[in-house]
Structure 1
Amino acid sequence: MGRAFEIVREFEVDASPEQVWDAITTGAAGWLWPAEYEPRVGGAAGLGGVVTAWDPPRRLTSRQEDPDGIEGLPQSLNQLDNLIEPREGGRAWVRYVHSGIFTDDWDNQYDGANRHTDFYLHTLRQYLVHFTGLPATQSDIHGPKASMAKGSFGAAVRALGLDGAAEGDTVRVELPGAGAADALVDFRNEYFLGLRTGDAMYRFFGRDAWGGPVGIAVHDFAPGSAAEQERTKKAWRTWLQDVYA
């Protein structure tokens, strides 16, 4: 039996409402994953969703609903609502609400979604402040089955040489497919790690905590990065295989 949930976040960011709107609605924006919205109420919102509110740059709502379960999600209803308002100094205030119905393992699904929300929205703010308007080549890599065992995420952090690194530290790290680079640890807790270089963001996900594999997302803003996408994916995939061999 399904049970409703709601996750709410509010924040201000050093970006205009128009920049926030473009980041959320433009598939090339490099903070989450490629997403496209048909710019009208009733338009397609991806993954079988539909746009239910389209008021640029103020309000965007999308909704997916299937009583038999949404493909790829343990849900029968999934809704994302974004309210954006201007603030002094060209800043924007954002109210983000993720709601719906989880159909299985409610506590685990809610905990995972709730914690992912903070990391996703932090990454959005990083994009808006440091890379806004730039298209990204985005690569998502999932670890092998062995990385699904609870407690596996720490092995990836240690393999990067960042076990003792704290949020705000600048580190020298070897990045598969890119080589050695100086990076800022822009997010760090027991579940997630975020690294930002001058031309990319690297996101590390400890989804083993919720029964999934450790994952990596690379958001590369460097010119010519699209031509290197497959090599980047292969390098990180090999790295994960080695970590969890």
Structure 2
Amino acid sequence: MSQESPKEFEIVREFEVDVPPEQVWDAVVNASGAYLWPMDPPEPRVGGSGPFGSTVTAWDPPHRYTNRSENTGMPTQSANQLDYTIEPRDEGRRAWVRYVHSGIFTDDWNNQYDGASKHTNFYLHTLCEYLTHFAPRPVTFAQVNGPAVSATQQALAAAAHALGLPDEAAAGTKTGVRGPGGRTLDAVVDYRNPYFLGLRTEGALIRFFGRGHWGAPLGISVHDFAPDADAEANETAWQGWLNGVFGQA
């Protein structure tokens, strides 16, 4: 890979969700494991510490929150900023959200931007699924990655086939899928495209990441809202399922 000059990027999304602004705010600053991965909440002040060594640069609950890092520790990114603006709609019964992810990619710009942009769509969709169906229930988070052979563009389709998911099962389809141990999970397909697959069960959000499009193995995250959820058991079960799909002992 040839070294490229550092270049700024900006990913902007706007959406509305049928919950009050305060509920969106709480999810963004306190419930990251419910739709992303667990992160320490930010210090509630400008200049406070934020996730992954960032600094809080805007803090106006429940309307504006920004954090920025000038040293991401990532080989292809030298600066990272996340900005949330939340406004009320319908006399505070609904919320409008503007999300801006910006920073500097130092190399492999097109591939990095494409991956970040597409992941953003899926993460924000998962945030809305959490807010609409599960908030404010506490979450138990688990994540696993497939073996190296799953780092292909065909891996997500292979996972869908192993689930018993028909090709025509688009978002909104209610279906039974074959989970770990051959157990049938009653689920709704809440998101599906060539890159990502989202399943919503009565008690969990299960997300499949076809990262082979960007040279990485397929990943799964499980956001489990059951009172007796066990992160280690979920990781063991889904890792075994993934290894079975891709022929690993």
Per the normalisation by structure 2, the TM-score is: 0.92
Partners of 2:143 and 2:191 in 1: how far apart?
18
- Residue equivalent to 1:241: 243
> Of the candidates 141, 162, 171, which is equivalent to residue 159 of structure 1?
162
Task: Provide the secondary structure at the position in 1 that maps to 2:191.
Answer: strand
Partners of 1:3 and 1:156 in 2: how far apart?
35
Question: Does the C-alpha gap of structure 1 residues 142 and 18 become closer, same or farther in structure 2, counting only changes over 3 Å?
Answer: same
Task: Provide the secondary structure at the position in 2 that maps to 1:201.
Answer: strand
The alignment's C-alpha RMSD in Å is 1.5
Identify which range, 173-182 or 138-147, moves more after superposition: 173-182
Q: Do the aligned residues in 2 keep the contact of 1:28 with 1:135 (CA within 8 Å)?
A: no
Partners of 1:11 and 1:73 in 2: how far apart?
31
- Residue equivalent to 2:56: 51
Partners of 1:242 and 1:178 in 2: how far apart?
11
List aligned pairs for 1:46-125, cutoff 5 A: 46-66=51-71, 70-72=72-74, 74-88=76-90, 90-125=93-128
2:217 is the alignment partner of 1:192: no
Q: Do the aligned residues in 2 keep the contact of 1:23 with 1:29 (CA within 8 Å)?
A: no
Per the normalisation by structure 1, the TM-score is: 0.94
Partners of 2:68 and 2:223 in 1: how far apart?
26
Unaligned 5+ segments in structure 1 are none
Q: Do the aligned residues in 2 keep the contact of 1:63 with 1:77 (CA within 8 Å)?
A: yes
Question: Does the C-alpha gap of structure 1 residues 45 and 136 become closer, same or farther in structure 2, counting only changes over 3 Å?
Answer: same
Q: Do the aligned residues in 2 keep the contact of 1:11 with 1:95 (CA within 8 Å)?
A: yes
Question: Does the C-alpha gap of structure 1 residues 134 and 29 become closer, same or farther in structure 2, counting only changes over 3 Å?
Answer: farther
Shift of 1:174: 2.3
Q: Do the aligned residues in 2 keep the contact of 1:201 with 1:218 (CA within 8 Å)?
A: yes
Shift of 1:152: 2.0
Count of paired positions: 240
Shift of 1:72: 3.8
Q: Do the aligned residues in 2 keep the contact of 1:29 with 1:134 (CA within 8 Å)?
A: no
Q: Deviations over 1:113-171 (max 9, x none)?
A: 11111110000001111111111000011111111133222111111111422111001
Unaligned 5+ segments in structure 2 are none
Identify which range, 113-122 or 166-175, moves more after superposition: 166-175
Question: Does the C-alpha gap of structure 1 residues 16 and 75 become closer, same or farther in structure 2, counting only changes over 3 Å?
Answer: same
Q: Do the aligned residues in 2 keep the contact of 1:29 with 1:135 (CA within 8 Å)?
A: no
